[in-house]
Amino acid sequence: MLNFAVIGCGNLAMKYAIPALINSGVSRVIVCIDPNRRGQREAIKEKFNLPLVTTIDEAIKKYDFDAVYIAAPTGAHREIVLSAASFNKHILCEKSLGSNLNEVKEMVNFCKERNLALFEGFMYQFHTQHQFVRKLIDDGEIGVPFHFLGRFGFPPINENDFRYKKELGGGVVLDAGAYTVHAARHLFGKEPVASCAILENEDKEVDVRGTVLLDFGNSNTASLIFGFNNMYQSNYVIWGSKGKITLERAYALPPNFNPTCTLEKQGFKEVYTLNPCDHFVEEFKYFCKNYKNEIERVSWYNEAINQSKVLNDFFR
């Protein structure tokens, strides 16, 4: 059992991450840390029977834990990661790891020097529906995949939300866009050789909508569309030489949700209803199994930097 401190107790942590850490069978939550949510102390105590403190220093003095799970806004990640690593804590941090490439490199180098795990959390990838998609591809059902279409967007959010604030690491690229980039990179198993991005801010201080074309070489391309002020979409389509695969809920799913996968070929269409999966639980199982593995840790460092490089290029 790996003992965690949870840093950042917003909606995502309260609704999904903390329950998943408690129920994973391989992890325990020892303490919650959040300087901005003192009012949630009783709620966290009542719901999870956990203490809430306001600083990592206080948590270190009072509690014994080995790793931190960070669900704070992106703009706070650098300070939290460097602080946690200075206390020799392993780190699982929600995407996006940093606000820019320089921050990501600094965090990676700091953790690498201390032989600490640093994993950028894209929980969606651990949902079993993506294994189903990969098997269809490996079985040749759509021939050779050549294009990935990813869409992730949602209706207008509260004007005071951190996603609209530059100093908090806001912007749709680091939020919804990061998922589509990550999914495209992992479909083709390589990095893009060129990108073209159209970003819109709609008079906000951050980007709120984006359309991106990625060229992975060898006739592999991706088109990505994401935004804060759209009809909700969370899907991807993989187009191959013989057919296509569509996932309607690719990135954000409740643990009890039955996703659907559609396979289409010339004159053929089949819709598969798949089993529910708690991708947070599966992510925590993966981290706990591999955080001590030096080869895995190096791959996590490289993955975080490569992901950030692609996002960084959108702002050229």
CATH code of residue 37: 3.40.50.720
Same domain assignment for residues 136 and 189: yes
- Same structural domain for residues 231 and 245? yes
Q: Measured on CA atoms in the order 204, 208, 212, 216, is the torsion positive or negative?
A: positive
Tell me, yes or no, whether 159 and 245 share the same domain: yes
Which domain does 182 fall in, by range? 128-276
Claim to verify: residue 111 and residue 137 sit in the same structural domain = no
The residue with greater pLDDT, 214 or 11, is: 214
Q: Are residues 132 and 268 in the same domain?
A: yes
The pLDDT assigned to 40 comes to: 83
Proportion of the chain above pLDDT 90, given as a percent: 94
Residue 299 forms part of a structural domain: no
In the structure, what pLDDT confidence band is assigned to residue 316 with cuts at 50, 70 and 90? Answer: confident
Report yes or no on 307 lying in a domain. Answer: no
* Closest by CA position to 287, among listed 129, 127, 118: 118
Residues 110 and 133 occupy one common structural domain: no
User: With 80 as the cut, is the pLDDT of residue 117 above it?
Assistant: yes
94 lies in the same domain as 138: no
Buried-state track 157-166, b at ≥16 Cβ within 10 A, e below 16:
eeeeebbbbe
Query: Does the residue 150 lie in any domain?
Result: yes
Judge whether 155 lies within some domain.
yes
Residue 11 falls inside a structural domain: yes
Beta bridge partners of 122: none
DSSP per position, 254-301: -TT---EEEEEETTEEEEEEPPP--HHHHHHHHHHHHTT-HHHHHHHH
How many angstroms separate the CA atoms of 123 and 108, rounded? 20
Let me know whether 272 and 287 are in one domain.
no
Residue 116 sits in the same domain as residue 166: no
Task: For residue 54, tell me if it sits in a domain.
Answer: yes
Is 177 in the same domain as 252?
A: yes
Rounded to whole angstroms, the Cα distance separating 115 from 297 reads 8
Give the chain's domain count: 2
Structural domain contains residue 314: no
Same domain? 132 vs 118: no
Alpha carbon distance 86, 141 (integer Å): 49
- Supply the pTM of this predicted model: 0.96
pLDDT confidence band for 30 (50 / 70 / 90): very high
In CATH, what number is assigned to the domain containing residue 270?
3.30.360.10
Determine, yes or no, domain membership for 140: yes
Same domain, 68 and 132: no
Q: What pLDDT is attached to residue 134?
A: 98
CA nearest to 228, candidates 183, 185, 280, 174: 174
Distance CA 109, CA 168 (A): 22
